[in-house]
Structure 1
Amino acid sequence: MGKLIYAANTSLDGYLEDEDGSFDWSVPDEEVHAFWNEHERGIGTSLYGRRMYETMRVWESDDWLTTGPAVVREYAEIWRDADKVVYSSTLREVPTARTRIERRFDPEVVRQLKETSGPDLSIGGATLGAEAFRHGLVDECVLLLHPVLVGGGKPALPGGVRLDLELLDHRRFGNGVVHVRHAVRNGT
């Protein structure tokens, strides 16, 4: 059975994006990129909301990667090798391989996907992640806390949800980013 892992870059004050929708402050250096590569290697299926998918689908193309560092090219290969499920009521088609569209988030379908998956699954995007947290589907939470305060924007974690967590791992990177990994113990 695979675990569902919510993973995100977040500002120290808890936002995925600032009030203008920017997340340029979370662009990883090579050390942090290598961490994400290792994390994503264990993911068999990624669940995305439409906006997160539209941000991530850039990894499908090689055109812009030819002059990039090896760690960036490696991430593209890892991303392409994973299955992707995009939750959207508006997308008509998806231009990336190994990708399917689901029109609505169905917690029972996600539970079944977890039960039948060997590798872990990831969930990305604030809105979709919040739904998974609210339905008690998230098994682990992986956050990279960036040393920046953005003062507002899109929260990384849902409001109105109580979860007890257990710290499983942590790490400090040379650029000041801090990784924390928690197991979700229960929800109310």
Structure 2
Amino acid sequence: MPGRLIFSAISSLDGYVADADGKFDWSVPDEEVHAFVNDLERPIGTYLYGRRMYDVLVAWETIDDPTPVARDFAQIWRAADKVVYSRTLEAPCSARTRIEPEFDPDAVRALKAAAGRDLSVGGPELAAEALRAGLVDELQLFLSPVVVGGGTRALPEGMRLGLALRAERRFGNGVVFLRYDVENGD
């Protein structure tokens, strides 16, 4: 069975992954949310990242956090393959990582078809390209109990998608998780 491409994001209630100043400290998951994220990430075999998302997450390559939930995530992240789309990054800073200069929807379709595990697309700009190409099969949104009033949107403007709600969960810190299948995806 081919792999599914999943876009997962933590956003403000008004739909932003970062505020107008580029800050996202309000989105840091607590232990309960982080453990849930770990369980969602565990089946991912390949991460597709834009340069900025990779620059944020590559820290997990060397993080030696004493908390069990952080250690677990670091192991999950290190075990997966990564494809980073960048015209400027010359060499990866993590194992199991390759650099691609351009996002090629046909290459991602082939990657999905050959994958034995699910894939994840990280970062709103790269996810927008994958959504527009009809490649995303599932959206996983974590809505944080904060309104930031502007910044980097989690989902692209000017796009209409049919979605089917498949799961929801409310956490003690006020975060709400929503999982949707994309009905008109690839």
TM-score bracket for this pair, using the shorter chain length: over 0.9
- State the shift of 1:117 in Å: 0.3
> Match of 1:153?
151
Structure 1 runs (4+) greater than 4 angstroms displaced: none
> Match of 1:52?
53
- State the shift of 1:26 in Å: 0.6
Name structure 1 gaps, 5 residues minimum: none
Partners of 2:93 and 2:184 in 1: CA distance: 37
Partners of 1:50 and 1:12 in 2: CA distance: 25
- State the shift of 1:161 in Å: 1.1
- State the shift of 1:62 in Å: 3.5
- State the shift of 1:160 in Å: 1.4
- 1:13 matched to 2:11: no
For 1:26, the aligned partner's letter is S
- The TM-score normalised by the length of structure 1 is 0.96
For 1:147, the aligned partner's letter is P
Name structure 2 gaps, 5 residues minimum: none
- State the shift of 1:69 in Å: 1.2
- How much is the aligned-residue C-alpha RMSD, in angstroms? 0.8
Aligned residues: 184
- State the shift of 1:47 in Å: 0.2
> Match of 1:4?
5
Partners of 1:171 and 1:118 in 2: CA distance: 28
- The TM-score normalised by the length of structure 2 is 0.97
> Match of 1:28?
29
Matches within 5 A, 1:176-187: 176-186=174-184
The percent of aligned pairs where both chains have the same amino acid is 61
> Match of 1:40?
41
For 1:44, the aligned partner's letter is G
Partners of 1:58 and 1:95 in 2: CA distance: 9
Please state whether the residue corresponding to 1:137 is helix, strand or coil: coil
Partners of 1:142 and 1:124 in 2: CA distance: 11
Matches within 5 A, 1:1-188: 1-63=2-64, 65=65, 68-186=66-184
